[in-house]
């Protein structure tokens, strides 16, 4: 008997109920649950902030696990927890609003906590190798004026790259972008189109 699907949802928007990415991410999860009603869902909301990595964190991370002090283990405790959440997930759903042409600083802090040499990636004689293989990621992308894939979109390409770097290469982006360039009715239509794209994506899976 196969194990239930495991979904990890990462939220980074500071806009609460007004957030487009939160609504899109919720739609992604809801559609996943329709296809796998016994799935487990873990939500990690990073919008309030995560600790930034610092010298102590880097020192602990590069110390052999068997030789880490109690203080170093405590320094890495949150990172270990975040890594285990990600390692356990079959599907990663990321709510990624665009702030000033890039991802939220809190989402970057999450990435810094989970991108760990010898844990989620390693360097080999053939180059870097991601260790979190066999997973799928769906990014719920929303922006006020930045077009998805445009020359000033430093969010979606970065997310694709860093996810691939740790081994997650099956990445899809569903977008409601350039929302402030649209009228009110067009904004609603753009959200509906993004939600329809989610439904088509998961129906085809």
Q: Which residues are annotated as a binding site for FMN?
A: 13
**Vertex 128, ends 127 and 134: CA angle to 5°?**
130
25 pLDDT above the threshold of 90? yes
Confidence at residue 186, expressed as pLDDT on a 0 to 100 scale: 54
User: What's the chain's average pLDDT?
Assistant: 90
pTM of the model: 0.90
Of 102, 204, 121, 113, which is closest to residue 165 (Cα–Cα)?
121
Q: Stretch 185-200: mean pLDDT, rounded?
A: 62
Of 129, 198, 205, 202, which is closest to residue 164 (Cα–Cα)?
129
136 pLDDT above the threshold of 60? yes
State the helix-helix crossing angle for 77-88 and 105-114, rounded to 10 degrees.
Answer: 90
Confidence at residue 92, expressed as pLDDT on a 0 to 100 scale: 98
Please give the Cα distance from 12 to 94 (Å, whole number): 8
Q: State what percent of residues in the chain have pLDDT above 70.
A: 85
Contact 130, 167 (CB under 8 A): yes
Confidence at residue 144, expressed as pLDDT on a 0 to 100 scale: 77
190 pLDDT above the threshold of 80? no
Helix (H) or strand (E) holding 94: strand 91-97
Each residue's pLDDT tens digit, 80-118? 999 999 999 999 999 999 999 999 999 999 999 999 999
Total Cβ atoms within 10 A of residue 194: 21
Q: Stretch 136-165: mean pLDDT, rounded?
A: 93
Confidence at residue 13, expressed as pLDDT on a 0 to 100 scale: 96
CATH architecture of 6-204: 3-Layer(aba) Sandwich (3.40)
Q: Which residues are annotated as a binding site?
A: 13
Confidence at residue 181, expressed as pLDDT on a 0 to 100 scale: 55
Confidence at residue 17, expressed as pLDDT on a 0 to 100 scale: 85
Confidence at residue 112, expressed as pLDDT on a 0 to 100 scale: 98
Q: What are phi and psi of 20, to 5 degrees?
A: -70, -40
130 pLDDT above the threshold of 90? yes
Collapsed DSSP state (helix, strand, coil) of residue 181: helix
């Amino acid at each position: 008997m196969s194990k239930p699907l495991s979904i990890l949802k990462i939220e980074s928007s500071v806009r609460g109920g007004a957030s487009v990415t939160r609504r899109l991410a919720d739609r992604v999860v809801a559609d996943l649950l329709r296809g796998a009603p016994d799935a487990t869902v873990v939500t990690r909301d990073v919008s309030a902030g995560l600790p930034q990595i610092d010298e102590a964190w880097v020192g602990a991370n590069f110390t052999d696990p068997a030789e880490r002090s109690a203080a170093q283990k405590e320094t890495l405790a949150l990172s270990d927890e975040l890594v285990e959440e990600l390692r356990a997930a079959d599907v990663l759903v990321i709510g990624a609003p665009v702030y000033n042409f890039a991802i939220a600083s809190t989402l970057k802090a999450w990435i810094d906590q989970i991108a760990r040499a010898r844990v989620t990636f390693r360097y080999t004689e053939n180059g870097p190798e991601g260790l979190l293989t066999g997973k799928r990621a769906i990014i719920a992308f929303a922006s006020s004026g930045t077009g998805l894939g445009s020359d000033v979109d430093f969010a979606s390409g970065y997310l694709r790259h860093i996810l691939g770097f740790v081994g997650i290469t099956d990445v899809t982006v569903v977008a409601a972008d350039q929302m402030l360039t649209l009228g009110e009715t067009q904004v609603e239509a753009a959200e509906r189109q993004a939600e329809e794209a989610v439904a088509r994506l998961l129906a085809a899976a």
